Amino acid sequence: MLDVRKMVLLRDLARLGTINAVAAARYCTPSAVSQQLRALERETGVPLLRRSGRRVELTPAGADLAARTGQVVALLEEVSAALAGSSHELAGELRIGAFPTAVRTVLPAALVMLGADHPRLELHVIELDPADVPDRLRAGSLDLALVHEYDYVPAEPDPELATEPLFDETVFLARAAASPGRRGDGDPVRARRAQPWITASPGTLCYLMTIRLCQAAGFMPRIRHYADDFGAVLTLVAAGQGVALVPELALADLPVGVELIALPARRRTLIACREGAVLHPAVVAGAAALRAAVAGYPGVGAGSA
């Protein structure tokens, strides 16, 4: 009988490319990953890996087993969901990942509802950038997560993950009230091409949105500051340090002296989980609580399929 945990490591190697990357994703040592993969080869009785210079590549048999592993994991998740559904009361852990603005706004109400309706369900919240969510879901360190995509940064389809639209927001250009440029200046983004910009860290979706929106307006932004907290971004904008893109959820504590210009761009938030966990009672309850929390939160629009 093949060990599913070892198969998952092989799938990780197919996706991430190196044993070091698999070890980092699984919080273990590269030697431990190598040992598990060698053990899997002994279990199968066929070569799964081959050396290519300093790298390790999958053989055709290894690539085939890695591709089939997702189906096996999804089936096991469905079995787990069915077993959990036979209980009269939800219990165990529900690990929820969310980006900072959702943690401050929508998520608290959802947690209160879950705690009241399912007191034996142990809730854990992990704040992270949506770009990190798919790997965390696949690794099993998250059960449910909020992710988002922008008009200029669409999400790539992932057959191992299931998503459901939750809400969408307007994206604003934030600038100091006394900064150059007028509201009526045609394209408000292009009108700020000579000004310094404030963005999130490179590699985040917010950073990519800024770059791509400016490219669509015909220029590359001159970035002066990097800040991942929208409160810090808006404070820098109020201080005249540059202009920035901010979504609607980030405007709860708008500093004095910041002017907002609504752009024809949206940020869409989705609920995400592993494909096999869609019907797990804890995941179903978490998603329902998130939908109810959004319904009671002003300033966001309901998502649509």
**Rounded mean pLDDT of 208-228?**
96
Q: Grade residue 182 by pLDDT with cuts at 50, 70 and 90.
A: low
The mean pLDDT value for 7-19 works out to 89
Same domain, residue pair 79 and 211: no
Q: What's the number of domains the chain is made of?
A: 3
Residues 148-174 have a mean pLDDT of: 90
Tell me which residue of 161, 166, 155 sits closest to 209, measured CA to CA: 155
Handedness of CA 34, 36, 42, 44 (dihedral sign): negative
**Residues 37-46, mean pLDDT to the nearest whole number:** 92
17 & 69 share domain: yes
Higher pLDDT: 156 or 42? It is 42
- Distance between CA atoms of residues 199 and 184, nearest Å: 24
In this prediction, residue 183 carries a pLDDT of 52
Taking a C-beta distance cutoff of 8 angstroms, is the pair 272, 163 a contact? yes
Q: Are residues 98 and 70 in the same domain?
A: no
Q: Which of 84, 105, 124 is the last residue of a domain?
A: 84
The answer to whether 253 touches 231, Cβ cutoff 8 Å, is: yes
CATH of the domain at 228: 3.40.190.10
Give yes or no for residue 15 having a pLDDT over 90: no
In terms of Cα–Cα distance, which of 202, 246, 251 is closest to 225?
202
**Neighbouring C-beta atoms of residue 164, cutoff 10 Å:** 14
Q: Which helix (H) or strand (E) holds 41?
A: helix 30-44
pLDDT classification of 181: cutoffs 50, 70, 90: low
Confidence of residue 166 (pLDDT cuts 50, 70, 90): very high
State percent of the chain over pLDDT 90. Answer: 63
Is residue 173 located within the same domain as residue 261?
Answer: yes
The reply to whether 112 and 42 lie within a common domain is: no
Q: 75 and 139, same structural domain?
A: no
Question: For the ranges 48-62, 99-113, 187-201, which has the lowest average pLDDT?
Answer: 48-62
Range from 69-78, 80-89, 130-139, 169-178 carrying the lowest mean pLDDT: 80-89
Query: Are 61 and 74 part of one and the same domain?
Result: yes
Segments forming the whole domain that contains residue 18: 4-84
Query: What was the pLDDT predicted at 305?
Result: 37
Share of the chain above pLDDT 70, in %: 93
At 96, the pLDDT band (50, 70, 90 cuts) reads: very high
Confidence of residue 216 (pLDDT cuts 50, 70, 90): very high
185 and 258 share one domain: yes
Query: In the predicted model, what is the mean pLDDT of residues 248-271?
Result: 92
Rounded to an integer, the average pLDDT of 257-281 is 93
